[in-house]
Amino acid sequence: MLRAGVDLGGTKIQVAIVDKLNRVLGTDRRPTPTVGTPDGVTDTIASSVKAAVVNAGVDLEDLVGVGVGGPGQIDAKAGTLSNAGNLPGWMVTYPLAAELSDRLGGVPVELGNDVQVGVNAEVRLGAGREYTSLIGVFCGTGVGGGVVINNELWIGRGAAGEIGHMKVMAKDGAPCGCGRFGCMEAYAGRAAMELQARKWHKKGKKTQLFKIMKKKGKPRLASGVWDKALKENDKMAHKLIDRAVWALGAGIASAVNLTDVQAVIIGGGLGIRLGQPFVDDIRDAMMPSLIKPQDPPVVLLAELGDMGGALGAALLVEQYIKPVATTAGAKKVAKKAPARRPVNQTAAKTSAAVARQPAPVPVTAAKKAATRKAAAKKTTTARTTAAAKRAPAKKAAAGTTAAKKAPARKTAAKRAPAKKTAAKKAPAKKAAASPTTAARIAEAARVLTTRS
């Protein structure tokens, strides 16, 4: 049972061919056309899927389905994608599922929201696989999110998870892409950050951001540009990222106060590029707004990197299409498949799956219960460890230096692949932000409130 997953983004199309254990057999990646029509983009997706199939050493007929995670408004039932502003000529309703299926010899195509499939991938296969409740926050051009409660992606009436549009500034907020003001995304979305950088730059404030952008040959302030500017100690880049961290801290903490989830996963292009230090700063920034700072959720970096979208899209197929007898193709490739970690199959059904047909969950209730029990046990251990760790941390709090903080982070990062130790999960860091981070966040808040 081979599936293709397509991550359809504004800048790139990433395809992965996976087997029934979600092991990646082949991939293809190419730029998304910046001009043209939905037909043209669909041609490119089809070519990319075919290339990935060849890359995997299988045949198109071996695919039981293709999942596409896309931006804009998805109607999974109708198979349409509408109003995708980041895709050329796509401010229309386009029957992507049928059109792509036609170009791929009739293989079924399923559509899903890009952020929701990304969160689902992290829940099923990535950083969230040991948790039953979590919030995924994906920082990219905008800030998307997904809420998982009791292993199910909460979609509400279809539009849940819009964490980017939680209000973090009630008065005189920055303008958001949604047309409102003061949303988290207006401070932490790459598009909004770029807008602010251009404004300041125009007013004569110095920055290397745009020089780095040109040097890298990018038309926008891509995640890599921000990363480089931070490393070069660009003042404006630091100011804007600190502002983003402040907004993310406030917004995510509010979401946690409402849901009391076990974990928060930070992903998206910017999140992945800035990595663990960014995640640590967000966790620090959350603390002042948490109603229960002594028992915060675990804050983790997404694990699947930029393959998360494609893997999540491939999961869409599993949820719609009943497993069929293993094809010759699957057998053929099974041997050479690279070993990946086993899949936690206790996870979420997505929106449309619920609406259409129950997911074929190949796990027994007993196994599910056992997993939950194990998770609960781990949480307890984590809390104990955290409590033990907190005591000495408090003592040192006043004089904590960034240098002192650094080794802790390094350890956490080192431990990341294992991820099973209680210490990693535990909020090992003290509840209060270090003076450095706290000062930076305060500065960011001050900038925000004094901004005209």
Closest CB to Zn ion among residues 167, 201:
167
Site for Zn ion in 22-81 (CB under 5 A): none
Q: How far is the CB of 184 from Zn ion (least distance, A)?
A: 8
Closest CB to Zn ion among residues 64, 176:
176
Q: Which residue do the tokens 């219960």 mark?
A: 369
Closest CB to Zn ion among residues 16, 137:
137
Q: How far is the CB of 142 from Zn ion (least distance, A)?
A: 8
Site for Zn ion in 325-384 (CB under 5 A): none
139: phi then psi, degrees, rounded to nearest 5: -95, 115
Site for Zn ion in 198-227 (CB under 5 A): none
Closest CB to Zn ion among residues 195, 230:
195
Q: Which residues pair with 267 in a beta bridge?
A: 138
**How far apart, in whole angstroms, are the C-alpha atoms of residue 290 and residue 286?**
6
Number of neighbours of residue 159 by Cβ within 10 angstroms? 10
Closest CB to Zn ion among residues 170, 339:
170
Closest CB to Zn ion among residues 56, 143:
143
Q: How far is the CB of 302 from Zn ion (least distance, A)?
A: 22
Closest CB to Zn ion among residues 73, 436:
73
- Kindly indicate which of the ranges 160-168, 293-301, 312-320, 376-384 contains the residues binding Zn ion, using the contact rule CB under 5 A: 160-168
Candidate list 91, 92, 178, 370; residue touching Zn ion; CB under 5 A: 178
- Kindly indicate which of the ranges 106-114, 122-130, 175-183, 388-396 contains the residues binding Zn ion, using the contact rule CB under 5 A: 175-183
Q: How far is the CB of 182 from Zn ion (least distance, A)?
A: 8
**How far apart, in whole angstroms, are the C-alpha atoms of residue 196 and residue 240?**
8
**How far apart, in whole angstroms, are the C-alpha atoms of residue 148 and residue 122?**
11
Question: CA nearest 118: which of 84, 143, 93?
Answer: 143
Give residue 417's identity as a one-letter amino acid code.
Answer: P
- Kindly indicate which of the ranges 25-33, 39-47, 157-165, 210-218 contains the residues binding Zn ion, using the contact rule CB under 5 A: 157-165
Q: How far is the CB of 137 from Zn ion (least distance, A)?
A: 14
Q: Which residue do the tokens 């992965």 mark?
A: 16
Closest CB to Zn ion among residues 184, 209:
184
**Cα 98 to the chain's mean position, in Å?**
27
Contact between 111 and 241 (Cβ < 8 Å): no
- Kindly indicate which of the ranges 149-157, 174-182, 199-207, 344-352 contains the residues binding Zn ion, using the contact rule CB under 5 A: 174-182
Candidate list 3, 124, 129, 165; residue touching Zn ion; CB under 5 A: 165
Q: How far is the CB of 171 from Zn ion (least distance, A)?
A: 16
Closest CB to Zn ion among residues 63, 147:
147
Q: How far is the CB of 107 from Zn ion (least distance, A)?
A: 37
Closest CB to Zn ion among residues 113, 385:
113
Exposure string (b/e) for 226-254, b if CB count within 10 Å is 16 or more? bbbbbeeebebbebbbbbbbbbbbbbbbb
Nearest 5°: CA angle at 359, between 358 and 361? 125
Candidate list 176, 213, 314, 448; residue touching Zn ion; CB under 5 A: 176
Does residue 159 touch Zn ion according to CB under 5 A?
A: no
Q: Which residues pair with 112 in a beta bridge?
A: 69
**How far apart, in whole angstroms, are the C-alpha atoms of residue 145 and residue 160?**
9
- Per DSSP bridges, beta strands 63-70 and 2-8 are parallel
Closest CB to Zn ion among residues 155, 176:
176
Alpha carbon distances (Å) from 255 to 184, 261, 275: 12, 9, 22
Candidate list 81, 183, 426, 431; residue touching Zn ion; CB under 5 A: 183
Site for Zn ion in 128-147 (CB under 5 A): none
Contact between 302 and 271 (Cβ < 8 Å): yes
- The tally of CA atoms less than 13 A away on the side-chain side of residue 126 is 29
Total binding residues toward Zn ion, as defined by CB under 5 A: 5
Give residue 449's identity as a one-letter amino acid code.
Answer: T
- The tally of CA atoms less than 13 A away on the side-chain side of residue 20 is 17
Contacts with Zn ion by CB under 5 A lie at: 165, 176, 178, 180, 183
